[in-house]
Structure 1
Amino acid sequence: MTQRPFHHGNLRAVLLDEAAAVVRESGVDGLSLRDLARRAGVSHGAPRSHFVHRQALLDALAEVGFERLTADVRRALDGGGGLRDRFRRVAHAYVDFAVDDAALMDLMFQAKTTDEPGTVREAAATLFATLDAAVGPAVSDGAADESRELFKMLFAATMQGIAALVASGRLDRSAGDLLVDAAMDTMLDSELGRRVVTAR
């Protein structure tokens, strides 16, 4: 295996890139600091200067996952067009990430529930704030806030479900794309969608 060159100071980034590749290839169970050191071409102890134990590595990887997904969602929102078009792009970006990096997505949401308040939770909060922005300006009203939260949970549950069907091979990618579009149309045209989404 060809060793990847790195300069002192970017070993952490190299290790996280290698960790993401391992998770994509063989899942979280295949990830170890010793194997990462071998893949990066450094001594067995070198990764511990950045990750004191395996859980620290997993948390850092989850944080990177949230940052990458947030960047994908922001690009989708920046594409212009009407609200329906923006929602569809966001939904496709979310599902594409969850299919292409299914094991990383699982790790991200496991870390969010087990991690102490810190960088993983902050990265997750940034993602959900970005998704929230797609809905439009919040209305200061208790009932509206409840509807908004319900809409966001429905969005996440629906897109996660579609991604799971595609990732498991129950649906092919094109069928998944059609299902994403149909789901977004249904959600936006529903009573809940009309209550929540502010046209902009």
Structure 2
Amino acid sequence: MREEGSLRERLIDVGAELVATEGTAALGLREIARRAGVSHGAPRRYFPTYHALLSAIARRGFDDLGARFAGAIAGVTAPRDRLRALAGAYVAYALERRGMFELMFRHDLLDSERQDASDGPRLRESTLPLFEGIVGLVAQCRPGEPEVTAAVLWSNLHGVAQLWTWRSLQLVLSGGAADVGRLVDAVLDAHLGPANP
């Protein structure tokens, strides 16, 4: 039993390493099995579908992002300052862990609802609390519809991260890495109003 759990974790470890070094395109069942040193059919014993394996790998990314969020807001009390810290951590994670970041938000590839409950929490149970925390902070910063504002804020930050990764924003901005922080501040100002009106 312990050995089986270890193999399951090894498959996830290999997948996480593969997505980190080679991106989502490299995440094939056969390649993960080969690198884990098992037969190509072995992953099916632990993950009934390819999507279930991808979801387990993505859940590892959400756990990592959640830990970064916790570290970013440790000791920060004001809601807007907490949002700023989370926004900065989100964009930094996207830039540092590009392959994992891409996988984590590809819910068209992930099995976020149909996972077997014995496989641990469903992916949605790992992701929704992160968003709900942002909604709660937005509600403290701005009246109105906090879910919509949080969704638009998230979309904007995701776009900043993606366009920076693709080097598109560098074409129009000249300040280098310092511009990432300015962009995060501008996103917050756009959706929450200026910090110091």
Same fold (TM over 0.5): yes
Q: Distance in 1 between matches of 2:141 and 2:77?
A: 21
In the alignment, what sits opposite 2:104?
Answer: 108
Structure 1 window deviating more from structure 2 (26-35 vs 14-23): it is: 26-35
Query: What is the match of residue 17 of structure 1?
Result: 13
Aligned match of 2:166: 168
Report the TM-score, using the length of structure 2 for normalisation.
0.74
SS of 1:9's partner is helix
- Which structure 2 segments of 5+ residues have no match? 115-121
Cα gap change, 1:161 to 1:49, in 2 (>3 Å): same
Cα RMSD over matched residues?
Answer: 3.3
How many pairs were matched up?
184
Partner of 1:181: 181
Which letter maps to 2:149?
A: F
Q: How does 1:35-74 map to 2 (within 5 A)?
A: 35-74=31-70
**Normalized against structure 1, the TM-score is what?**
0.73
- Cα 1:111/1:39, change in 2 over 3 Å: same
Question: 1:94 deviation in Å?
Answer: 0.2
Distance (whole Å) between structure 1 residues aligned to residue 58 and residue 5 of structure 2: 21
Residue aligned with 2:107, SS: helix
**Which structure 1 residue ranges, 5 or more long, are not aligned?**
1-5
Residue 115 (structure 1) shift: 3.6
TM-superposed deviation, 1:180: 4.0
